[in-house]
């Protein structure tokens, strides 16, 4: 599948691979700040901050997506994010204790989030689970050096709210990006009663996502055993069924 108007900002470690692809790329140097040398330094923040600074100076239209070297992509993702007007979001597979991290969509709008670690975050999403239109990238937009709050801090710096989010991947019912590594995957078991969930007909896309992660082997779903999943709204976590009301 061709990817027109595609460009990437990468480290020198990807030089040979980037040249083989024939796709345009730019190398950036982003050393770790000295004050974080001995601390619990959040990985990838200095890289992304350098990329954001370069984009602010050199690019005026397009879509920003933070793709990591531990991500595997369905190429349909790149076609979908081209439609992003402000901020788009979509599920990320093989991440967190639920086997997936995703917005929860009701009647075509994002209303909550499904992620095993809410962290008191406004936007509990994975770095690979959103894209941003460059027109939204203000001068003050940045990413904090705070472990676990990189995504949330960046999105908050854009002054967006949940009503601005555009759900992709068929209303967040399909998975087009995964976290992958060379290790045996410990598939989580999630306690879910589909008889109750299916009564929420306006959450059909979320129910379809749960079926998707089960059929693809990312998680096991059982009505009696497993982790009790929660839904996050407004930085608060709720039991799944009560959170969907």
Q: Which residues are annotated as a binding site for Mn(2+)?
A: 70
Query: Rounded distance, CA 192 to CA 104, Å?
Result: 15
Query: Does the annotation mark 151 as catalytic?
Result: yes
Query: Rounded distance, CA 221 to CA 213, Å?
Result: 9
Contact between 105 and 171 (Cβ < 8 Å):
yes
Closest CA to 205 of 116, 81, 82, 91: 91
> Given CA atoms 118, 230, 126, 141 in this order, what sign does their dihedral have?
negative
Q: Which of 80, 150, 151, 212 is catalytic?
A: 151
Query: Binding site: which residues?
Result: 70
Q: What is the DSSP string of 135-184?
A: GG--TT----S-TT-HHHHHHHHTT--GGGEEE-HHHHTS--EEE--SS-
Tokens of 2: 């061709």
Which residues lie below 8 Å from residue 243, measured CB to CB, with a gap of 6+? 112, 230, 231, 232, 233, 237
**Residue 38: exposure state from Cβ atoms within 10 A (0-12, 13-18, ≥19):** exposed
Contact between 105 and 89 (Cβ < 8 Å):
no
Q: Would you name the residues annotated as active-site residues? A: 151
């Amino acid at each position: 599948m061709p990817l027109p108007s595609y460009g990437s900002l990468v480290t020198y470690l990807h030089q040979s691979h980037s040249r083989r692809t024939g796709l345009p790329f730019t190398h950036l140097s982003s050393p770790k700040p000295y004050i974080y040398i001995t601390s619990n330094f959040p990985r990838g923040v200095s890289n992304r901050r350098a990329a954001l600074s370069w984009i602010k100076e050199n690019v005026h239209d397009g879509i920003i997506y933070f793709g990591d070297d531990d991500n595997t992509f369905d190429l349909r993702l790149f076609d979908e994010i081209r439609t992003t007007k402000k901020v788009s979001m979509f599920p990320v597979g093989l991440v967190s204790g639920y086997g997936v991290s995703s917005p929860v969509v009701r009647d075509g709008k994002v209303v909550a989030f499904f992620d095993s670690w809410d962290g008191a975050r406004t936007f509990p999403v994975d770095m690979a689970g959103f894209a941003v239109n460059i027109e939204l990238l203000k001068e003050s937009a940045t990413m904090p050096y705070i472990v676990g709050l990189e995504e949330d801090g960046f999105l908050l710096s854009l002054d967006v709210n949940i009503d601005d989010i555009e759900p992709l991947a068929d209303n967040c019912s399909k998975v087009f990006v995964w976290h992958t590594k060379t290790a045996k995957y410990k598939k989580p078991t999630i306690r879910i009663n589909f008889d109750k969930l299916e009564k929420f007909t306006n959450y059909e896309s979320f129910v379809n996502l749960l079926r998707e992660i089960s059929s693809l082997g990312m998680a096991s779903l059982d009505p009696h055993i497993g982790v009790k999943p929660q839904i996050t709204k407004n930085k608060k976590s709720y039991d799944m069924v009560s959170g969907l009301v």
